[in-house]
Every structure is written in structure tokens, then in C-alpha cells.
Structure 1
Amino acid sequence: MGIDFLHKAYVRPSTYTTCIILTFMDQITYYGGLFFMTWATFERHLIIFHSAVFNTKRGRILFHYLPILSIFVYITLYYISVDFFYPCENHFNYLAFWCGFICYMNLPIPTLLGIELIAHQVVPMILIGIFSLALFLRVIFSRQRLRQSIEWKKYRRMIIQLLSTSTIYLIFTTPFSLNPIAQAVGLPPMFTTPVYAKVSTYWTFGVPICVPFVILLSLPKVKEKFKPLLKICGLGRVVPTR
């Protein structure tokens, strides 16, 4: 739908239902992704350094399935509440990206939107950075000391995949996060301009574009299949001629 708008310059079909469903789906996928990524960065600490908690059915339910289910339920119920039942009237603009803003987003900050951006955008972004950095440091400092008790080769791919994905999230979500921070603490005006807000919003699209490639390229079999393609494109190893 977003690509179609960028191509046609208007929302199709131009209806109230399209706009509110489009907004709802965008919110639960984007913010849900941030929440799931935040939990994934923390869960990797448990998997690598406290793997015993997953040995029992109760442990798997408490530390894997329950957090995922809780995130899904919370995000879904929250955005159903604010998108469909918040006491305000929507005036969608079919010539604006995502139909403009849903009504509760147009209220002056600080409001529900300001709190939401801090809780759903800024805090997860900070936690992703902290948990990822902490995992990297724990691995570095613990590798020699715990070499015998932790199968590092088993977790190597997982760690690389997580750190790569976290880096992508931080690169593409940090600019968007600066907008609510700027409005809350009074950063320079450049971070609160409509142009910056629009550019940083488009910038977040880099997450769904790049993450699948990071995951695919971290899989050995997929990487092997890419090697012939790289050679065809002239990116393979060049063997000097005698």
C-alpha cells in the first residue's frame, strides 16, 4: 500500500476504512517489530548464558512463549483502543502518506502520542542498544573463561545475526526517535521540523528491507548459493594471472 501511494500520490481506495486499517496495520507491525526485537536481544542472554531455563516446559512457556504472546496481545489491544475507540474524530487526507495522521496523533504534545512515542519507540530503541552491547561485551569477556561450558560455535551464528539485526534497527530507527526526544527535552529545531519528521519516517522503511537479507546471508546454505551470483557480477575473488 505504501509503495502504491508513492507511485500514484494518493491512497487507493480512497475510503475511511482503507485509511484506518492501513494505519492500524502499520502501527502493529512497526511497533510490534520493535518490541519483539527488544525481547529477542534480551532473550539471547538467557539462551547463551542461562540456557537451563529452557530445559523445562515451564521455563519455555515463561521465558519464550509468554513474553511473545504478551507483546502481541498488548500491541494489538492498545492500537485497537486508540485507533478505533479513542474519543476524537478522524479527518483523513487521501493525498497524504498513510492518509495523514489518525486523530489522536494530531493532539498537542505532550499527550497520548508523546507518551506512546517515548514508550513504544525511544525506550525499545535504547534497550535494543543496551542489550546488544551487553551481549557483545559478555561474549568477549566470557569466551576464554567459559570456553568449556558454553558451545561458542553453536551460538556464533545467533550472536552475529542478532548484532547485525540490532545494528540495522538502530541505524534506521534512531533518526525517527530523535523527533519525540527533541520535543520532550528541547533539542535543536532541525529535529522537530516537518521535513525531518517525514524523512525520518521514510528512513524506517530500511528495517523491513534490510533485515531479511541479514537473516538470509547468515544461513550457511544460502551464503553458498550466493557465491556463484557474486562471481557472475564480478564480486567474487579475483585470482591473479601469471
Structure 2
Amino acid sequence: MTANNSSNSNTAVFSNSEMSLPRPIRFWLLVIFNIPSVICSFSIIIHIIMDRVQRYALQNHTILLILIIYLPIQLVDINFYLVFFHYGYVSPSKPIVCLLWWFADYGCFIGGLILMACTYVYTLSVCGASPCYQSYGILGEWEFIVNSSISIVLESIVSIGLIVRVQRQKRRIHQSTQWHKYRRMIIQLFLVSSVDLSLNLPFYLIAFAHLCGLPQEYGAQLQLYFFFLGYFAIFLFPFASLCQFPELRKTIKNKIIAVLPRQLYRRTPVGPVTVTIPMVQQQ
């Protein structure tokens, strides 16, 4: 297994395959899920910043940071995808567009900076799927293993470890664990971790199998599907974070109810009406 082949697995999938799901369907799926997700993200960010209690709560700092990091993906990365699905190529076809797209897709999603001059493929999504530094031995392997795969696995381990730590601390100070007090935390950890693992982990498992010698043609379509579904982990994260803010949930619910019609007006059918006028007899 050469280093070049191992780090090029993701690029080969994008270059040689097209997802069987039609582009118009992918276009509308991204639009339908991204718009309410962006609105929810801004609502939570504004709520945390404007509310002093929420702003000083340490558990909200991580949520705020993740939402801010995800916003460039939702506002830049997704919009570039919509343009690509509409035209069939990157528009405008300029290097700065690909750098911006890569920065939003890789810099914000994985956390790496793109500083190298690369060759861009304007007829492929994400300008060829990955920056050129991923094609060079240890850099590509480090990006895939440390920055991507391990971080997803650690997310579930740390989430479970947090619950175990609370349980052990309660036992140490001889207090019974009242799980109903931690219900919101457990639900939030479960929602975020399960969504992220179910949508992102299969993609990296297939890529890891390719690194171990599985031919690139096996699982290529499945990997493309999981790459696309990985964006839904970003879309669903703001809604999972709402578990932490019951007052904000109530406010959003009231605003939605106020916007929607409170009742459906029924139209009474109009038809000919027969009126009987009694005859008046003259005396």
C-alpha cells in the first residue's frame, strides 16, 4: 500500500463516480434542510449571546463554537453545492472560488487550513473533492486518521465518559444519582452523538477499508451517499442543541404558531335559494 494511494481514496471516488441520486433531488434536499437549520443556528447563537445567564454557562460555549464553525459550511459550502447542481460545473470557474469552497468544506468541517497552490477540477463537486496536500503521504494520512476518523470515534467515547464521570462523582460524595436532573444533558448527548456517528462514521469506515486494500470500486456509490448524508449531521445539530434551551424552544414554537393560520376558514357553498312568500287574501 503506497502512501499516495492511501491518501487518494476519497479523491478517486469523486473523480470516477457520480452519485446515482439525481442532482435536482439533492438540490432540493439541501435547500429544504439547510434553510430551517440556518434559522435555528442563528436563533441559538443570538439567544446565547444576548442572554447573560446562557452566555456565562460553560456548557453553552461548546455549542456556540460548533454553531459558529458550522455556519460557513451552511452559508458557503452548501450554496456552492446548489450552484454546482444547477449548472453542472463550478461557477465562476476561478481558483479563488475553489479555495473558498475548500476552506468552508475542509477548514470548517475538519479544521485544517488550506495554504498550498493546487490544481482545480471545475467539472467536479468541491473542485475535485480534496486539496492537493491530502495526496502527499503523511499529510493525507494524518488528515484522514487523526483529524477525521479518530475525532468521530472520540466524540461517542467522551460523551459516554461524561455520563460515567457524573455517576462516579455522585457515588464518591455519597449522593444518589437523580437522572431526571440530567435528562436534558443525556438526551442532547445521545442525539448529537447518534446523528454524527450514524451519518459520518460509515463514510470513514469504507475509506479505511480502501486504505487496507479494498478495491476502490467496492463501496464507491455507498461512500458517495454517506458523504452526502454527512451534511445532515450539520443540519440536525442546531435542533439537537435546542434540548439545552427550553425557553428558546417555547419562543420558537409560539412564533411558529403565530405565523401559521389559527383556523381554516370554511367556505359555505352558494346555490339557488327558494323563498316561499305567503299570499295575502284581500277582504
| Shared fold (TM-score, shorter chain, > 0.5) | yes
Check the 8 A contact 2:102/2:126 in 1, yes or no. Answer: yes
Q: 2:95 aligns with which of 1, 16, 24?
A: 16
- From the superposition, tell whether residues 145 and 191 of structure 1 become closer, same or farther in structure 2 (CA, over 3 Å): farther
- SS at 1:172 equivalent: helix
Query: 2-side partners of 1:149 and 1:193: how far apart?
Result: 48
Q: Report 1:114-193 matches (<5 A).
A: 114-139=141-166, 148=175, 155-186=182-213, 189=215, 193=219
Q: CA RMSD in A?
A: 3.4
Unaligned runs of 5+ in 2: 1-79, 262-283
Alignment partner of 1:95 is 2:126: no
* Contact 1:173-1:204 at 8 Å conserved across structures: yes
Q: TM-score, normalised by structure 1?
A: 0.60
User: Which amino acid letter does the alignment assign opposite residue 198 of structure 1?
Assistant: L
**Residue 118 of structure 1, CA deviation:** 0.4
Query: Take 1:15 and 1:190, find their aligned partners in 2: how far apart are those partners?
Result: 30
> Which of 223, 228, 234 does residue 202 from structure 1 map onto?
228
Q: How far 1:23 moved relative to its partner? A: 0.6
Match for residue 20 of structure 2? none
Q: 1:24 Cα deviation (Å)?
A: 1.8
d(CA) in 1 for partners of 2:170, 2:187: 15
| Partner residue, 1:26 | 105
Amino acid at match of 1:167: S
The verdict on how the C-alpha distance between 1:175 and 1:124 changes in structure 2, with shifts beyond 3 A counting, is: same
Is this contact kept in 2: 1:182–1:192, CA < 8 A? no
Whose relative contact order is higher, 1 or 2, with alpha carbons under 8 Å and at least 6 apart?
Answer: 2
Q: 2:213 aligned with 1:213, yes or no? A: no
After TM superposition, the score normalised by the length of structure 2 is: 0.52
Query: Which runs of structure 2 are paired with 1:55-74 in the superposition (5 Å)?
Result: none
How many residues end up aligned between the 2 structures? 178
Shift of 1:206: 1.0
Question: Which amino acid is the alignment partner of residue 118 of structure 2?
Answer: N
SS of corresponding position for 1:92: coil
Q: Would the aligned equivalents of 1:118 and 1:180 in 2 still touch at CA under 8 Å? A: no
